[in-house]
Structure 1
Amino acid sequence: MSLIELISGVESHAATLTVVNADPDVRDELADRFAERNLVVTADTLPGGPREFAVLSRDGEFLTAVPVADLLAPGEETSPGFDRRSYQPVLDHLDETIFTSYSTARMVAASREIEDRAWRTGSGELHAGFQTLETLSPTVPTYNRLSERGGLTVHAYASPEGEAPDAAFPVHVERAPEIRETWFVAYDGGGTDANKCALLAEEREPGRFYGFWSYAPETVDHVIDHLTRTYGLMRTDGEESG
């Protein structure tokens, strides 16, 4: 399954958050709050039931129920919201969370979250796609530093637009459309499933990205396995590796 197919697969499994016994404006507020998630917010009434709770389900399967107050409580501000501390009761059950229309700045901020996790762990593999060599070049000093961090191995991927950088880590130069059209950062957790995370997005219009982040180990493994299997031969001279 290609990277773009993986985005479409996650997108097709939207979860539903049903707001029960709450005022319509509560449902609208939650819909706004989760507008960038792969989440459909609906309303329902349960006579004799408790007031203002929410039920999360996917494909008709119950996942969890939480008080609406927990979802409306102010969360710690994070940029761009990659940190699971925001909306914890719901995100615990949304390991693959779609976002829409992220700008380049928000994609950079999300990428930094994963890079920081890899840096702090100091082991494992970090795979990052920059779309083009021109985009990769300004980031080389940061990734050189990451590649020098203990047992952490870094791989970068880019299409041959721009000059090949002087990098201390392997650069996979590819003409594959998925490399040119997607932005991704995936960390294998350094041997710990709880540390695995990935960000994968497709640029569907200039400077606007649609995709998902995931803490699901099997999804992170799929992204890294696909990259390793498909682009395993390393080149840094601007030529195709396949």
Structure 2
Amino acid sequence: MSFGRILSEVADREKRVIVYAPDDSGGELADVLATRNLTVDQRRLPALSSEAFVVVRDDGEFQGALSLEDLLEFLTPPIRRPEELDSLARKHRVVYELLDDTVFVSLDRRQLLATSRELEDRAWRTGRGRLHVGFQRADAFAAQTAVYRELATTDIDIHLYVPGGVSGDPLADTPVTVHTENGDRGRYWFILFDDGERGAQNCALIARETEGGRYRGLWTYDADLVAEAFDAVE
């Protein structure tokens, strides 16, 4: 199994998003989600009803609901300072859970960094298991060393993959293992977490840069899919 194969398999699945709104605002969401394997339908609400909301169904089964405003805020966010990303990830946690296992083809680095924070926070709160993280460039690794120095204080077995290695490893005094021979893995931004127990906290992000700073990939909380991603790395 490879990362490319995992992305192809997930691309064959489809979820259904139903927008309930008193106007045609569902059309905006359809445009934003046009690059995902999602079907977007709209149901008209009475004009005096409450704010528009979105329902997500997978194989006909109800998965959850959230406000249209929150979903659009995540999918088309304004430029945010780095210190705001942690609060963004917490606020949009429901978005990650509802849209997992859907392939995206046009997210930018800000959105992926916010998603990464959600997965790293899940690992931090669990405090055990294994965490494998791949960086496409050494400068991306250098910018995140403080995050992984903090995670290294837990009982998590942490492996970081940096193409070409790093000069003067800033994590050399921690139990973190840095890998420099990455092969095909070096083309992907990935975060894989296994909680070491029943898999309730397992999660993964796999993304590959396409052009113009945009990325194609997925995030998932499916334990079997996370296991496949670990097999692709190990």
TM-score above 0.5, yes or no? yes
How far apart, CA to CA, are the structure 1 residues paired with 2:200 and 2:150? 24
The 1-side partners of 2:145 and 2:211 are apart by 26
Deviates more, 1:97-106 or 1:115-124: 97-106
C-alpha distance in structure 2 between counterparts of 1:100 and 1:212, whole Å = 9
Count matched residues: 210
* CA distance in structure 2 between the aligned counterparts of 1:113 and 1:87, rounded to whole angstroms: 8
Deviation at 1:222, TM superposition (A): 1.2
Aligned counterpart in structure 2 of residue 64 of structure 1, from 59, 62, 65: 62
Distance, in Å, in 1 between the alignment partners of 2:91 and 2:14 is 18
1:55 and 1:111, CA in 2 relative to 1: closer, same or farther beyond 3 A? closer
Partner of 1:159: 163
Report the CA distance shift for 1:73/1:132 in structure 2 as closer, same or farther (over 3 A).
Answer: closer
Query: Structure 1 residue 218 and structure 2 residue 228: aligned?
Result: no
Q: Which amino acid aligns with 1:85?
A: V
Code of the residue aligned with 2:153 in structure 1: it is: E
**TM-score, structure 2 normalization:** 0.72
Do the aligned partners of 2:96 and 2:115 also contact (CA within 8 Å) in 1?
no
TM-superposition CA deviations, 1:150-206 (whole Å, max 9, x none): x111111121065362322111112413x2221011111242422111111111114
- C-alpha contact (below 8 Å) 1:79/1:110 kept by paired residues: no
Contact 2:10 2:101 in 1 (8 A): yes
- Show the counterpart of 1:7: 7
With over 3 angstroms needed to count, the CA separation of the structure-2 counterparts of 1:140 and 1:196, relative to structure 1, is same
1:195 maps to 201
Deviations 1:90-124 (A, max 9, x none): x2xx5412223222222222111111111111111
Q: CA deviation at 1:86?
A: 3.9
**What CA distance in whole angstroms lies between the structure 2 residues aligned with 1:118 and 1:19?**
32
Structure 2: how far apart are the matches of 1:19 and 1:116? 30
- How many Å separate the matches in 2 of 1:17 and 1:109? 22
Q: Which amino acid counterpart does residue 79 of structure 1 have in structure 2? A: L
1:124 aligns with 2:129: yes
Distance 1:121 1:56, change over 3 A: closer
Partner of 2:80: none
Contact 1:75 1:85 in 2 (8 A): no
CA distance in 1, matches of 2:96, 2:190: 24
Secondary structure in 1 matching 2:209: strand
**Contact in 2 for aligned 1:132/1:161 (Cα 8 Å):** no
Q: Secondary structure at the match of 2:206?
A: strand
Separation in 2 of the partners of 1:81 and 1:34? Answer: 22
Query: TM-score, structure 1 length as denominator?
Result: 0.70
| Contact in 2 for aligned 1:129/1:158 (Cα 8 Å) | yes
- Indicate the residue corresponding to 1:41 in structure 2: 40
User: Residue 142 of structure 1: SS of its match in structure 2?
Assistant: helix
Q: CA deviation digits over 1:24-49, x for unaligned, max 9?
A: 825424424645643122469xxxxx
**Distance of 1:2 and 1:65 partners within structure 2:** 28
- Give me the whole-angstrom Cα distance separating, in 1, the residues matched to 2:91 and 2:136: 21
CA RMSD after TM alignment:
3.5
Aligned sequence identity (%) = 34
Mapped pair 1:209 → 2:215: yes
* Letter of the structure 1 residue corresponding to residue 178 of structure 2: V
Distance change >3 Å, CA 33–CA 225, structure 1 → 2: same
State yes or no: 1:134 paired with 2:133.
no
Please say which structure displays the higher CA radius of gyration. 1
CA offsets, 1:200-226, max 9 Å, x none? 111111421111110111111111232
